Amino acid sequence: MADSSPLLSQSNSETPRLEKHFPSLDDTIERCIGSFGWAQFLQAVLVSFAWFFDAQQTFISVFTDAEPAWHCTDSADELCNSVASPCGLPKSSAWVWDEPTRTSVISEWDLACAGPIVGGLPASSFFMGCLAGGLVLATLADSSLGRKNMLFLSCLVMSLAGV
């Protein structure tokens, strides 16, 4: 009959080993920076509050780059009523946007027929600016200004630019 005890377990009757107590990662972090308190909680809330505005700037392109609906002004125009896009219509056909033209970048700048590259240019330029700013600000934060000063400066500039 097979022994049911685990292979790697050792009984207490064998020679005792000297066990070293290594501190855990949590113990080491708490020893270096202190335990989690109200100051750390407030700092985490303030940084998260800044991320709220950053997310707002990022997701606004979802709404401003949307192509609004349109309709024909002359219901008797068969050509106008048969196409799915105003791009296929001749210049003489009468159509209008359903919403005011300022509700979307596509309708305000007349980018409906400009092609996907030009239509996606506003969002692409925003994200290229985020990429370049991230590289520059990260370099400045690690080299001369420090991370807290850079976080404050970038939040201040983003708030001013958002207003």
In the chain, where the domains are located: 58-115, 120-163
- The 10s digit of each residue's pLDDT in 57-98 is 778 777 777 778 887 877 777 777 777 777 777 666 677 788
Distances from the Cα of 160 to the Cα of 30, 94, 156, 163, angstroms: 37, 42, 6, 5
> What is the 8-class DSSP label of residue 119?
H
Phi, psi of 151 (to 5 degrees): -65, -45
Of 143, 77, 64, residue with least CA distance to 111: 64
pLDDT number for residue 4: 62
Separation CA 156–CA 162 (nearest Å):
10
Largest CA distance in the chain: 100
The pTM of this model reads 0.50
Size (the chain), residues? 163
Residue 40, pLDDT score: 81
